[in-house]
Structure 1
Amino acid sequence: MNYLELEEKISSQGPRGYYLLKSFLIKLLQEEAKSKSQEIIHNAGSDVAAYDAVAPNGFGDISGHVSIEIARVISLARILTETKKISPFDTGKDSSFLLISLTNIDSNARLMLKLNFRQSSRCHFWGPNEIQSLIDRHTETASKLAENLFLNRFKVTIESNVEDWRQQRDEVVNAVRDEYKSGRFSIFLGAGVSSSAGLPDWDTLLNSLFVSMLTDDEANSKSTDSEHISSIVKRLRQIDGPSSLTLARYIRKGITTDSSVEQEKFINAVTKQLYGLRNKKYSLSSSLIKSIINLCTPSRTGAKVKCVLTYNFDDLLEREASAHGISFKPIFEELDLPNAEELPIYHVHGFLPEDRSIYTNIQKATLVFSEEGYHKIYQDAYHWSNLVQLNNLKESSCLMIGLSLTDPNLRRLLEISAKSIDKSKHFAFIKRITFDKFSNEDGKPVVRAPNQTVKRFLERHHKLNEEIMRELGVNIIWYEEYDEITTILQKIGK
C-alpha cells in the first residue's frame, strides 16, 4: 500500500479528507502502540486542544509521556505556532513531543525545524516516509483502515478521550481570548442576539405578517382573529410543509408586487411587525448586546474587533454602539465603505432600522427576506455580501453568536474558507442538549430507553456535532443556559 497515493486521493476531498486521513493515522498509531504494549489516547472535541493524541507510557522508541500533533502540512507559519507548544519539551525529562506531517515537509520548513530544535532530544518529527514505514509494519491493518475511512473516523470520534465538557470549553474560550487580543477578529451575529432584546423570532414574524396580509384583505371583517390565523398557519405548515423561506415568499407575494410603491409597503409592513411585536419585558439594551458592544469598544492599544457581520434586519447593535460613544458605520450596500475610525457593521441580509430617516441611501438596502432574495445572493458568487463574509472567514478568526449554523449559504462559505486552513480557527456558541430536556417533556418521560443508554447517545451526538463543525473550520462553545453566553463574552474581553 502506497501512502502518497492514498494521501493524494483523500486530500482531494478538502477539509473532510484531512480529517479522514488523520483518523486513519490515529488508528494506525494505536495499532503500533498496541503491538508494543503501549497506548495512544486520542483527544477530540475541538482544534484548540493542546495535542491530537498522547501516549502516556511512551511510543515506540520515544520514552516518557509523548504528546502527538498531526498536521496537514508543516509550513514556516505552522512551525512558529508549534514552537510555543514544543518549548517545554526542550528541557522536560519525562515528556516528549512528536509532530507528524501528512504531506512532505518543504526544505525551508525542515531548516526551521533544525534551527529551532537542534538542541532538543525530546522533539521528534515524522513525514510521509515514516508514515509509509508504519504502514509497511502493519500492512493488513492499514489496508482495512483504508477501505473503511468513514467508519474509522466515526470510531476515533466516539472512542476519544472525553474531558469534562465545561473544562474543554474553558480551553476553547482561552483560544478565543487569544484571537481577540491579536486584533484579527470578527463577530458574526444571528437571530438569537435580537431575541435577547425581545424581538420576534422568524416564525413569529412570519405568522404575524400572514395575519397582516389577511386582515388587509378582510379590512371590513371583525371575525379575523390572530390566534385563529396562527392556528391555520401552523396547520398549513404541518400539512403542506413549506420551509420558512418558502412561506416568506408566499407572504411577500401576498403583500406586494415589484412596483416601488408596493415594495415600500412591504418594507413598512415588515418593519412594523419586527419592532411592534417586541416583548417589552426585555430591554432593548440586553446584557448580551451590551457584552458584544463592550468587545467592540477600542482599548488603549486600538480596536480588537475588525468588524461585525449581522444577519439580522434590526438596528439594536447600532443603538447600543451609539450609547457607548463608539464610531460605527452600518453597511448594507456594495459601494459603502467605513473610514479607519469606524466599526463596520455589515447587514448582509438587509437593514430595517426603526427610524429609516436617520440613515442615508437606506432605500438601496437589499432585503433578503424570502426565497427569491436568498437565491439571488446564493447564486451570485461575487455578490458583495458573499465577498464580505468570505473575506472575514479567510482573514480573521470569527466568533458566531446567536446563529444555528444551518444556513446553506453560510455553510458553503465556511467550507470554502476551511480549505486553506489546517486548524479550525472560528468559534460558535451552540446550545447543548441536556439529559433532562431530551428525556422529558412537561415533566413526563418521553424516551423509552435506560438512562445510561440515553446519556451515552447524547455524549456521542455532541462529539459528532463537534466533528462535523470542525470540517467547516468551527470550534463549538457549548452552553446550556442562554445567560452563559454573556458571562463567557465578559471573560473574553478581560
Structure 2
Amino acid sequence: MEFEKILENIDNQGTRGYYLVEALLLGLLKTHLQAQDKPLKLQISTPDYGFDAFAPEGFDEFDGPTFIQITLSSHPKKILLDIEKMQKNFPFMENTSVLIITTKKPNQDILKNHITFHSKPGSPFHIWGPDKISSLIEKYPEQANKLIENIFTIRLETAFSKQQENWKDERNEIVERIKSEYKSGQFSLLLGAGVSSSAGLPDWNTLLNSLFVALLTSELGKDKTIDSMEISSIVRRLREVDGPSALMSARYIRKGMSTNGSSEQTLFVNTVTKQLYELRDKRKNVESKLIKSIASMCTPSRTGAKVKSVITYNFDDLLERQLCNREIQFRSIFEEIEIPNTDELPIYHVHGFLPEDRSNYSNLDRSTLVFSEEGYHKIYNEPYHWSNLIQLNSLKESTCVMIGLSMSDPNLRRLLEIAARSIEKPKHYAFMQRINIEHFSKYNDKKIINAPISTIKTFLDRHHSLNEEVLKELGVNIIWYEEHDDIPPLLEQISKKIN
C-alpha cells in the first residue's frame, strides 16, 4: 500500500486535508510507539509554538523527549521557516529531538544547500518523508487499513479526547501567539454585530422587527414618531409568536417601503438608519470598552501601524467616532472605487454603511446595503464583487481576528474555505462564547434537562471540541470566552507593550 495513493483522495484540500492526513499519521505513530511501550501525547502547545505530538520517552533512534510536527509541504524554504520559528520561539532542552514529518518527498540536495543544520552532527532536527510513512503502513498493515477506512471517525475521536478543562491555559497560549502576529503588521480585524451590541445598538432581529412594526402601523415617511416603549413591547411579542427568516422579513420590509420614484432607496436607507440609532439601549455607553479596545489596537506605534485593515459587517459608524476621538487617520470604504492613502487605516463596510450623521461622508448612495435577500444574493453570486475580493485578500494575506461574529454567515464561511485551501494549519482567530453548564441546564433557576451534570458536561465538552474542529477546517482557531466583558482585556493583552 503506497502512501502516495492514499494521499490522492485527500490532497489539495488545504486545511481540511491536513487534518485528515494528521489523523492518519498520528494514528500510525501511536501504534508504532505502543509497540515499543512508549507514550505519545497529542497537540502539545507552548506560549509561542504548537506541536502536533510529543513522545516524552523518545522512540526508535530518538533517545530523549521528541517533539513531532507534521507538514504537507516538501518545499525546503517552508521547512526552513518552520525550523527557524521553532528555534526562535521554543527553548529546546539537551537531548531533545524534533521530528518533522512531511507527506511529500523533500528535495534532499536543496535541503543540504539551504538548511545548515542538516549536516551538523547532533542536530535536534530530523525529517521523515513519505518513504518512512509507507514503511510504517507496511509494518502495521491491519492497523493502517483500519485507520484509512475510519479516518474521519478517528479524527473526531482525537478531537473529543482533548481535555476541555485546560481551555483557559490554551487561550493564554493562543493570545501569546497572536501577539507575535500583531507585531508583524500583517494583521486585520473582522467585526460583527457583537461589537455594535456592546454599545447598545439593536441586534438584527430587533432592528427587523421594529421596521416591520413601523411598516404595519403606517408610520413610515411621516414626521411623527412612534413611542419607543410601544415599539419595544410589540417587538418582543412579535418575536415570540412569529419566526420567519430574517432575510425574508427584510425583503418584505424593503418591498413594503418601495415607491415608484427614485426616492425608494433614500426612503429605505433613511428609515433603517433612523431605527438603527433610535433603538440603541441608552443604558450602555456608546463608547463601549470593546470598541475602545479595538480602537486602541488600531493606534499606530512608534514602529508603524499594526492593524493593516478593518473589515466590518456592521452598518454603524461607532468605531469611526472612536478613531476620530483618538485622532487616528482612517478611511471608511463602502464602494469599489475608494482607495485609502498609505497613512490611512481602511475600514471596509462590506455590507453597507449607515453613519448616523450622513453629512460627514460623501457618495453614501453608492453603498451596497446588504440588508435583504436581494443584497445578499448580489454579493454571494458575484465572486468578483469588490467586497468579496477585499475579504478574500485579507484572509489570504493577513492574520485575521474575528470579533462579534457568529461564524454562521454562509458567504464568510465560503470565503474562509477558499482561503483555507492554500494553508496547512489555521492562521485566523475567532472569539466565541462557551456554553455555560448552569445556564444550559436551567431556566429561571428551574432544571430543564433531565440528565446529571456530568453527562451535560461531557456533551458540552464534545460540542466545544467539535466546533473547534469545524472552524479549524476553515482555517480558524477559536478563542473561547465566558462573558462578553472578557474580550476587551484579551485584546489589550494582545496589543500591550507595543507602543
TM-score greater than 0.5 by the shorter chain: yes
Query: Structure 2 vs 1, CA of residues 329 and 133 (structure 1 numbering), >3 Å: closer, same or farther?
Result: same
Asked if 1:330 corresponds to 2:336, the answer is no
Task: Give the Cα–Cα distance (whole angstroms) in 1 for the partners of residues 129 and 171 of structure 2.
Answer: 31
1:200 alignment partner in structure 2 = 202
1:350 alignment partner in structure 2 = 352
1:189–1:401: 8 Å Cα contact kept in structure 2? yes
Task: Give the Cα–Cα distance (whole angstroms) in 2 for the partners of residues 324 and 261 of structure 1.
Answer: 37
Task: Give the Cα–Cα distance (whole angstroms) in 2 for the partners of residues 275 and 183 of structure 1.
Answer: 34
Task: Give the Cα–Cα distance (whole angstroms) in 2 for the partners of residues 107 and 362 of structure 1.
Answer: 57
2:13–2:421: 8 Å Cα contact kept in structure 1? no
Asked if 1:115 corresponds to 2:121, the answer is no
1:10–1:17: 8 Å Cα contact kept in structure 2? yes
Task: Give the Cα–Cα distance (whole angstroms) in 2 for the partners of residues 109 and 353 of structure 1.
Answer: 56
Equivalent residue letter for 2:86: K
Task: Give the Cα–Cα distance (whole angstroms) in 2 for the partners of residues 484 and 114 of structure 1.
Answer: 43
How far off its partner does 1:280 sit? 0.8
2:487 alignment partner in structure 1 = 485
1:44–1:157: 8 Å Cα contact kept in structure 2? no
Q: Match of 2:431, SS?
A: strand
After TM superposition, the score normalised by the length of structure 1 is: 0.94
1:57 alignment partner in structure 2 = 57
1:79 alignment partner in structure 2 = 80
2:396 alignment partner in structure 1 = 394
Query: Structure 2 vs 1, CA of residues 113 and 6 (structure 1 numbering), >3 Å: closer, same or farther?
Result: farther
Equivalent residue letter for 1:68: I
Query: Structure 2 vs 1, CA of residues 125 and 481 (structure 1 numbering), >3 Å: closer, same or farther?
Result: same
Task: Give the Cα–Cα distance (whole angstroms) in 1 for the partners of residues 431 and 109 of structure 2.
Answer: 38
Equivalent residue letter for 1:8: E
2:151 alignment partner in structure 1 = 149
Q: Match of 1:9, SS?
A: coil
Query: Structure 2 vs 1, CA of residues 168 and 57 (structure 1 numbering), >3 Å: closer, same or farther?
Result: same
How far off its partner does 1:11 sit? 1.1
Task: Give the Cα–Cα distance (whole angstroms) in 1 for the partners of residues 134 and 102 of structure 2.
Answer: 12
Task: Give the Cα–Cα distance (whole angstroms) in 2 for the partners of residues 217 and 121 of structure 1.
Answer: 77
Task: Give the Cα–Cα distance (whole angstroms) in 2 for the partners of residues 481 and 468 of structure 1.
Answer: 22
Q: Match of 1:400, SS?
A: strand
2:21 alignment partner in structure 1 = 21
Asked if 1:235 corresponds to 2:235, the answer is no
Equivalent residue letter for 1:42: L
Query: Structure 2 vs 1, CA of residues 45 and 472 (structure 1 numbering), >3 Å: closer, same or farther?
Result: farther
2:255 alignment partner in structure 1 = 253
2:212–2:253: 8 Å Cα contact kept in structure 1? yes
Task: Give the Cα–Cα distance (whole angstroms) in 2 for the partners of residues 258 and 139 of structure 1.
Answer: 73
How far off its partner does 1:110 sit? 2.2
Match of 1:215 among 192, 214, 217: 217
Deviation by residue 1:136-160 (Cα, 9 ceiling, x = unmatched): 1101111111111111111111124
After TM superposition, the score normalised by the length of structure 2 is: 0.93
Unaligned runs of 5+ in 1: none
Q: Match of 1:58, SS?
A: coil
How far off its partner does 1:301 sit? 0.5
How far off its partner does 1:109 sit? 5.5
Asked if 1:102 corresponds to 2:103, the answer is yes
2:93 alignment partner in structure 1 = 92
How far off its partner does 1:355 sit? 0.9
How far off its partner does 1:279 sit? 0.7
Query: Structure 2 vs 1, CA of residues 63 and 259 (structure 1 numbering), >3 Å: closer, same or farther?
Result: farther
1:460 alignment partner in structure 2 = 462
How far off its partner does 1:164 sit? 1.0
Deviation by residue 1:16-54 (Cα, 9 ceiling, x = unmatched): 222111101111110111111111111179997521111
1:54–1:66: 8 Å Cα contact kept in structure 2? yes
1:334-483 matches, cutoff 5 A: 334-483=336-485
CA RMSD between the two structures: 2.4
Query: Structure 2 vs 1, CA of residues 162 and 282 (structure 1 numbering), >3 Å: closer, same or farther?
Result: closer
Task: Give the Cα–Cα distance (whole angstroms) in 2 for the partners of residues 127 and 204 of structure 1.
Answer: 56
How far off its partner does 1:13 sit? 3.6
Task: Give the Cα–Cα distance (whole angstroms) in 2 for the partners of residues 427 and 289 of structure 1.
Answer: 18
Task: Give the Cα–Cα distance (whole angstroms) in 2 for the partners of residues 312 and 257 of structure 1.
Answer: 26
Query: Structure 2 vs 1, CA of residues 99 and 177 (structure 1 numbering), >3 Å: closer, same or farther?
Result: same
Task: Give the Cα–Cα distance (whole angstroms) in 1 for the partners of residues 90 and 300 of structure 2.
Answer: 38
Q: Match of 1:437, SS?
A: helix
1:209–1:273: 8 Å Cα contact kept in structure 2? yes
Deviation by residue 1:298-336 (Cα, 9 ceiling, x = unmatched): 111110111101000001011111110011110000001
Q: Match of 1:10, SS?
A: coil
Query: Structure 2 vs 1, CA of residues 228 and 304 (structure 1 numbering), >3 Å: closer, same or farther?
Result: closer
Query: Structure 2 vs 1, CA of residues 64 and 107 (structure 1 numbering), >3 Å: closer, same or farther?
Result: closer
2:44–2:50: 8 Å Cα contact kept in structure 1? no
Equivalent residue letter for 2:237: S
2:305 alignment partner in structure 1 = 303
Task: Give the Cα–Cα distance (whole angstroms) in 2 for the partners of residues 22 and 158 of structure 1.
Answer: 15
Task: Give the Cα–Cα distance (whole angstroms) in 2 for the partners of residues 444 and 61 of structure 1.
Answer: 59
Asked if 1:281 corresponds to 2:283, the answer is yes
Unaligned runs of 5+ in 2: none
Task: Give the Cα–Cα distance (whole angstroms) in 2 for the partners of residues 334 and 9 of structure 1.
Answer: 39
% same residue:
50
2:45–2:173: 8 Å Cα contact kept in structure 1? no
1:135 alignment partner in structure 2 = 137
Task: Give the Cα–Cα distance (whole angstroms) in 1 for the partners of residues 479 and 338 of structure 2.
Answer: 33
2:80–2:115: 8 Å Cα contact kept in structure 1? no
1:424–1:473: 8 Å Cα contact kept in structure 2? yes
Task: Give the Cα–Cα distance (whole angstroms) in 1 for the partners of residues 465 and 110 of structure 2.
Answer: 33
Query: Structure 2 vs 1, CA of residues 67 and 455 (structure 1 numbering), >3 Å: closer, same or farther?
Result: same
Equivalent residue letter for 1:81: D
1:89–1:95: 8 Å Cα contact kept in structure 2? no
